[in-house]
Structure 1
Amino acid sequence: MAAAGSLVACGSLPAPPTSVAVPAGEVKGTAVTHTAASARGVMDNAALVLPARATGTGIYAGPLRDAPRTGGAPVPVVVFLHGSSGLGLKAIGEWQRWLAGLGVASVAPDSFALPDRITYKSPVSKAVYEQVHALRLSEVALALQALRQQPWADTSRLVLAGTSEGAAAVARHDGTGFAGRIIYSWSCEDNYFVQAHRSVLPPGQPVLNVMSSTDVYFSPTNAWLGNPAAKGHCGDALRDHKNASIVLIPGAPHTLLNLPPARHATAGFLRDVLKLE
């Protein structure tokens, strides 16, 4: 794992493209605020993976609503905010099972519990993105509330993580209730995806940022990024942060949770922050 306040990368950052070809975006759905019913569904439908230590038997993988009565000990938990494609992304389940192998539970709230939830194909207007970001940020509080009611959750050892759309909410959360944060595939910069990045990253809270050096959306290789000064990672937002690491993976895809460098950095971060045995 990289040292605190460090940036790890191989090779130089890519140069911004010289020509701009902006694809046509698309918006579907209209709902942008959770109802009482969808707020319950966000966590009832949440993808939960419990390690054997929590269950007292074996790994549990399924919705939170069907979680077994545990005979084990409370364990640390990662709250994971999925990206714009939702929980159907196979990589999320694989990543959660990998965490269970480290002795860490994980729960991924289901943002699509909201009927007619707004979705998009980028790029769309910043106003649309901001509605989505507000929706996603509201789901952090729902997750914290649900975890306080779970006997298997050691709520003194929580980490907030997310990827892409979900990672923007992770960066904007004030960090209350969490020991650290992991930001995958979001650069914490002003660009087409936000009115302003509005990251809230207190220097006392550990942060890990994992990015592709050629991220299709948030690196300088994106012709319609909307910020010619962008670096494609959270370095500027974390400039004065003494307990942060940034890992750049050359040529990686946007979904990079399970790549060896990402897993290596994540495992080291969690061992340090959650005091894993």
Structure 2
Amino acid sequence: MTKVSHRLKWVPLVWALAAPLGWAQAPAGETKGSALEHTAASSQAVIERAAVVLPAKATGAGVFTGQWKDAPTTLRERVPVVVFMHGSSGLGLKAIGEWQQWLAEQGIASVAPDSFALPDRLTYKSPISPDIYERIHALRLSEVSLATQALRQAPWADPQRWVLAGTSEGAAAVARYQGQEFLGRIVFSWSCENNYFVRGHGTALPVDKPVLNIISSTDPYFSPANSWLGNPTAAGHCAAALRNNKQASIVLIPGAPHTVLNLPAARHPVAGFLRDVFKL
């Protein structure tokens, strides 16, 4: 992959999106930072700094909440694991920690790799060039592989019970990942469609494993509610990409915000999905 040869500052980027006459002009996007490829050091830090929550069932004591590098090594038993890919705002989003605690209450461990372990990692305000988005998507895909490699060595992870989940930017990686290690996948706040965020949606969700897609019916980025979406025929969800999967479910939440993780309308189907997939 070609490296960026210059550093990107806070610079307005205007991207002309294909849209019918009368659609709103796309706003000016911004980027900060320049790094878009992990180094050996950042690849290690992505996992060491990952947010980990282990249920009491695994620790034999209370719930562990902390970074991967500090997780206990003396465990009572192995438990199912959700790998969670955060969105463009990183692990600082309070909703992620709340969601991980909720998983622990159900006896499920979770690990959220930290993409911002990469120094000077590029950040953005949408929309920006699809070419830059695609390099970000490649970066996030590499982090899924880093997580699977680490989980194989984790004494608390049941190697037969993993689910891959993510939201927004992280959900694009969930949808594109081609590995077969996961029993199922959960795609939050991503539509698996062509739009301003991709060159092509590139969805690779398995047709023979359960998939759950949860998104607001008026998602401000990936639904038709976005006037600069760049796809006048978009449905705003993953149904088209999942048309051949008989184990897929789509949950549209009317009027919900972009982050839906902890809404009751999202938690209930997720709880049922994980219960079935993990055979809890």
1:220 is paired with a residue whose SS is: coil
Count of matched residue positions in the alignment of Structure 1 and Structure 2: 261
Sequence identity, in percent? 69
* Displacement of 1:202: 2.0
Does 2:101 correspond to 1:94? no
Q: Equivalents in 2 of 1:275, 1:175: separation in Å? A: 22
Matched, 1:201 2:205: yes
Q: 8 Å contact 2:75–2:155 — kept in the other structure?
A: no
Aligned 8 A contact 1:187 1:233 in 2:
yes
> 3-state DSSP class of the match of 2:224?
coil
Check 1:232–1:17 CA distance in 2 against 1; reply closer, same or farther (3 A cut): farther
Cα-Cα RMSD: 1.2
Matched, 1:28 2:32: yes
Deviations 1:132-159 (A, max 9, x none): 0000000011001111111110011000
Q: Is the 8 A contact 1:83 1:165 kept in 2?
A: yes
Gaps of 5+ in 2: 1-19
CA distance 1:201–1:71, shift in 2 (3 Å): closer
Q: Secondary structure at the match of 2:236?
A: coil
Match of 2:247 among 240, 243, 248: 243
**Residue type matched to 1:202 in 2?**
P
Return 100-109 or 173-182, whichever deviates more. Answer: 173-182
Q: Distance in 2 between matches of 1:190 and 1:105?
A: 33
- AA matched with 1:165: E
Paired residue for 1:9? none
* Alpha-carbon distance, 1:172 to partner: 0.1
Taking structure 1 as the reference length, the TM-score comes to 0.92
Residue 42 (str. 1) matches residue 46 (str. 2): yes
Contact 1:47/1:108 (CA < 8 Å) preserved in 2?
yes
Query: 8 Å contact 2:113–2:143 — kept in the other structure?
Result: yes
Question: Residue 184 of structure 1 contacts residue 257 of structure 1 at CA under 8 Å; is this kept in 2?
Answer: yes
The match for 1:186 among 184, 190, 204 is 190
Equivalent of 1:114 in 105, 118, 121: 118
Name 2:77's counterpart in structure 1.
Answer: 73
- Tell me which of 58, 61, 67 is aligned to 2:65: 61
Give 2:17's aligned residue. none
Cα distance in structure 1, aligned partners of 2:92 and 2:205: 29
Report the Cα distance in structure 1 between the residues aligned to 2:84 and 2:74, rounded to whole angstroms: 21
TM-score by length of 2: 0.91
Alignment partners' CA distance in 1, 2:154 and 2:212: 26
SS at 1:253's partner residue?
A: coil
Query: Which structure ranks higher in relative contact order (CA pairs < 8 Å, sequence separation ≥ 6)?
Result: 1
Shifted more, 171-180 versus 220-229: the winner is 171-180
What letter is aligned with 1:259? L
